[in-house]
Every structure is written in structure tokens, then in C-alpha cells.
Amino acid sequence: MNEAGNTIIVYVDADACPVKDEIYKVAARHGLKTFVVANSFIFTPRDPMIERVTVAEGPDKADDWIAERVARGAIVVTADIPLAARCVKAGADVIAPNGKAFTESSIGMALATRNLMQDLRETGAVTGGPRPFAKQDRSSFLSALDLAIVRLKRAGFG
């Protein structure tokens, strides 16, 4: 159970999130409380169900704020794999902005791949990053978010 009982709560790791507008629309349609967490000011709609949280500057401050609050019934939107791992461990549904769901069965491989790529970049073997965000990613994200909401509602969250 999350801090709001059986209510679905959405947490957005917002600093570099390309799907914030989509999250706002879906959350409004479903009446979901949404926390938009960042290290700096992020514009959010004037909606009592959407709360902007500005955390102190520093590595992982937004991640820590989110990870300390999530539980089963929460949906976390992040591309940060270590944060995703913390949230999956806490029982949250975690979705990347490209629509990829992080689950108990996939997070170990995602962490291993991330660490390998980081090591390769540090040695100069790999110089590129992830592929650019595409229109199909936005569509995949919306599908994954709707699926997570439906699944949680069927499980008794609302």
C-alpha cells in the first residue's frame, strides 16, 4: 500500500522527461495525483492533482525523494535505471519515457547493460548515447502508461 492508501500516485523524474505533457493529460483523465520532481523549476499545469516538487541541487536528490515515497500502487516515470531498480524493489510500476516497462524480471539485465555501457564509455570504446526520442516512443509510452493504470485499477487501486 502506498502513502495515500489504495490511490494510484504518479511520480515523474522530470528533469529530462520528454513525456510530461502526456502524463498530465492521462493523469487528469484518470484523476491521479501526480508529483513532478526536479532539481530546478519545471512548469506544471494549474491543477490541484499535479504537484511540483523542487528538490535541492545535487546528485540523486530527485531520485531519493521519489524512491523514499514509492510503494505498490505507484507509477514512476523515469529513464534513470538505478532509480527504476529502487522503485521496482519497492513494488512500484516503472515506465521509461519510451514506453519500456521495468519489472522485477527485467531490471537486473537493464542495470547490467547500463553499467557495461558506462564502463565502455569511460574507456572510450563507446562514445554515443541512447538513440534520439522518436514519435513511436511517445505512442509506446502512452500505451504502457494506460496499461499500468488499468492493471492497478483491477488490483484494487483507484
Burial of 16 (0-12, 13-18, 19+ CB in 10 A): exposed
Quick: pLDDT tens for 50-83. 999 999 988 899 999 999 999 999 999 999 999 9
Asked if residue 92 is part of any domain, the answer here is yes
**pLDDT: which is higher, 2 or 116:** 116
What pLDDT was estimated at residue 107?
72
Asked if residue 56 is part of any domain, the answer here is yes
Using alpha carbons, select from 11, 112, 84, 88 the residue that is nearest to residue 52.
11
**pLDDT: which is higher, 1 or 129:** 129
Enter the pTM of the model: 0.87
Quick: pLDDT tens for 22-43. 999 999 999 999 999 999 999 9
Using alpha carbons, select from 77, 76, 51, 55 the residue that is nearest to residue 64.
55
- Considering its fold, how many domains does the chain have in total? 1
What pLDDT was estimated at residue 119?
66
| Domain housing 123 | 9-153
Asked if residue 4 is part of any domain, the answer here is no
Helix (H) or strand (E) segment spanning residue 77: strand 74-77
CATH at 30: 3.40.50
Average pLDDT of the chain, as a whole number = 89
Backbone phi, psi, residue 45, to 5°: -65, 155
Q: What angle do CA 158, 29, 79 make, to 5 degrees?
A: 80
What confidence category does residue 49 fall into, taking pLDDT thresholds of 50, 70 and 90? very high
Q: Is the pLDDT of residue 129 over 70?
A: no
